[in-house]
């Protein structure tokens, strides 16, 4: 009886404990990544140790010192306001933690400054920590323009597919689609966006594109902007969207290798040598000296044709007669022996079988 009572009690206790544990794990998974610094101020030539947690396991991160930025607004000018030449890369461990020493360098714009940590590949994630570069100029942040402000409301995507020409090295092209909303107090007319494409850990190359239209306060609009890469591009790319000097969205783009170009060069390596060999043989056959059979005194052998199905005797019967007889079977030139065939014999006087004639003395 006691065992029966203990089982329902244990089930009740587990039911009360599991929901809080699940909530704690879910909240831990939703927490943004964290960045901490060994010190908040250092001069040029020094270094600061950057540690982080809560990142994706085995993720590649970029560490930069950026100016005109605070953690609440992020990096205002994008990577253009960071000391990119002195940045460092680090890979997180299996639990999403890292520790890396970063050299202190002056960014190209005045402070306030931050240590900016962001993922270089895969899903986008970033975090900032306040840092002061000793001796570097400090200016207030640029005021945000009053009036309309745009904000990305939905996830971005790339529409389109690669065709046959892209398989042979044509520039890959897609359409960058996203939805923005006007969270300001005035209308936004013909906004100018900046679309950047980056490959691997390299900084994006920005290109301005203007969208024709007006977005009223509290309204939203679907934006479509064309994106094109260089001819023969392949690998992992990222498409970034910037508006008002702030990066608003980023979309990964995996571009396949143009195998048609490889196939073309393989065919060239096979066909061109074969064609050159044929041309060379034709030239050699054309310029080499030719000698006829008569000039060399050669006679072509007669060709004996054999009919299929004939036996050896029938073949001998149908064979052509010899062109000339043996010398001892030729007709005699003596008129008295005309028409008689004889074998050669010895007429020597010393032969014992040949009778001798005795004439008169």
Q: Answer yes or no: are the C-beta atoms of 129 and 64 closer than 8 Å.
A: no
Q: Is 330 part of any domain?
A: no
**What are the angstrom distances between the C-alpha of 321 and each of 135, 301, 317?**
120, 16, 9
User: What value does the mean pLDDT of the chain take?
Assistant: 77
| Selected residue with higher pLDDT from 78 and 319 | 78
Q: Is 348 part of any domain?
A: no
Give yes or no: residues 100 and 186 share one domain.
Answer: no
Q: Answer yes or no: are the C-beta atoms of 109 and 82 closer than 8 Å.
A: no
Residue 228 above 60 pLDDT? yes
CATH number of the domain at 49, please. Answer: 2.60.40.230
Q: What is the pLDDT of residue 150?
A: 87
Q: What is the pLDDT of residue 305?
A: 47
Give yes or no: residues 168 and 92 share one domain.
Answer: no
Report the alpha-carbon distance of residue 140 to residue 106 in Å, rounded: 17
Residue 351 above 60 pLDDT? no
Q: Is 216 part of any domain?
A: yes
Average pLDDT of span 255-265: 84
Q: Is 95 part of any domain?
A: yes
Coil, helix or strand at residue 15:
helix
Give yes or no: residues 115 and 197 share one domain.
Answer: no
pLDDT band at 14 (very low <50, low <70, confident <90, very high): very low
Q: What is the pLDDT of residue 20?
A: 43
Q: What is the pLDDT of residue 127?
A: 92
Residue 331 above 70 pLDDT? no
Partners of 151 in the β-ladder? 181
Q: Work out the number of other CB atoms within 10 angstroms of the CB of residue 352.
A: 5
Give yes or no: residues 108 and 203 share one domain.
Answer: no
Beta strands in 86-234 (DSSP E): 88-91, 98-103, 113-119, 126-134, 150-152, 157-159, 173-182, 188-189, 192-199, 205-210, 214-215, 220-228
Q: Vertex 286, ends 284 and 291: CA angle to 5°?
A: 100
Token pair of 231 as six digits = 């001819």
Q: Are strands 173-182 and 192-199 parallel, antiparallel or unpaired?
A: unpaired
CATH number of the domain at 181, please. Answer: 2.60.40.10
Give yes or no: residues 230 and 155 share one domain.
Answer: yes
Residue length of the chain: 361
Domain count, the chain: 2
Range of the domain at 247: 150-255
Q: What is the pLDDT of residue 235?
A: 87
Average pLDDT of span 67-78: 82
Report the alpha-carbon distance of residue 173 to residue 87 in Å, rounded: 31
Q: What is the pLDDT of residue 227?
A: 92
Q: Is 2 part of any domain?
A: no
Q: What is the pLDDT of residue 260?
A: 82
Q: Answer yes or no: are the C-beta atoms of 107 and 66 closer than 8 Å.
A: yes
Q: Is 174 part of any domain?
A: yes
pTM of the complete model? 0.48
Partners of 90 in the β-ladder? 61
Token pair of 89 as six digits = 């890369």
| Selected residue with higher pLDDT from 4 and 247 | 247
Q: Is 49 part of any domain?
A: yes
């Amino acid at each position: 009886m006691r065992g029966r009572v203990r089982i329902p009690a244990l089930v009740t206790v587990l039911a009360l404990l599991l929901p809080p544990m699940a909530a704690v794990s879910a909240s831990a998974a939703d927490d943004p990544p964290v960045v901490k610094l060994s010190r908040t101020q250092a001069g040029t030539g020094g270094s600061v140790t950057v540690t982080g947690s809560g990142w994706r396991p085995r993720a590649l991160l970029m560490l930069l010192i950026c100016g005109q930025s605070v953690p609440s607004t992020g990096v205002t000018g994008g990577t253009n306001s960071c000391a990119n030449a002195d940045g460092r890369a680090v890979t997180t461990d299996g639990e999403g933690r890292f520790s890396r020493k970063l050299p202190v360098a002056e960014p190209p714009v005045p402070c306030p400054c931050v240590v900016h940590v962001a993922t270089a590949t895969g899903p986008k994630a970033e975090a900032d920590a306040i840092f002061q570069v000793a001796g570097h100029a400090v200016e207030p942040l640029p005021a945000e323009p009053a009036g309309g402000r745009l904000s990305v409301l939905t996830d971005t995507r790339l529409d389109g597919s690669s065709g046959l020409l892209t398989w042979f090295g044509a520039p890959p092209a897609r359409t960058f689609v996203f939805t923005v909303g006007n969270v300001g107090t005035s209308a936004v007319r013909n906004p100018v966006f900046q679309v950047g494409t980056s490959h691997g850990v390299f900084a994006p190359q920005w290109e301005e594109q203007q969208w024709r239209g007006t977005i009223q306060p509290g309204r939203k609009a679907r934006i479509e902007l064309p994106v094109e890469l260089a001819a023969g591009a392949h690998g992992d790319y990222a498409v970034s969207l910037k508006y008002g000097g702030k990066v608003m969205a980023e979309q990964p783009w995996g571009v396949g290798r143009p195998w048609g170009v490889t196939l073309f060069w393989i065919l060239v390596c096979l066909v061109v040598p074969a064609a050159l060999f044929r041309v060379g043989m034709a030239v050699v056959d054309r310029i080499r000296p030719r000698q006829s059979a008569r000039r060399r005194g050669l006679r072509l052998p007669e060709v004996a044709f054999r009919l299929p199905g004939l036996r050896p005797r029938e073949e001998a019967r149908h064979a052509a007669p010899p062109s000339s007889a043996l010398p001892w079977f030729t007709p005699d030139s003596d008129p008295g022996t005309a028409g008689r065939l004889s074998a050669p014999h010895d007429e020597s006087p010393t032969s014992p079988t040949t009778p001798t004639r005795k004439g008169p003395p």
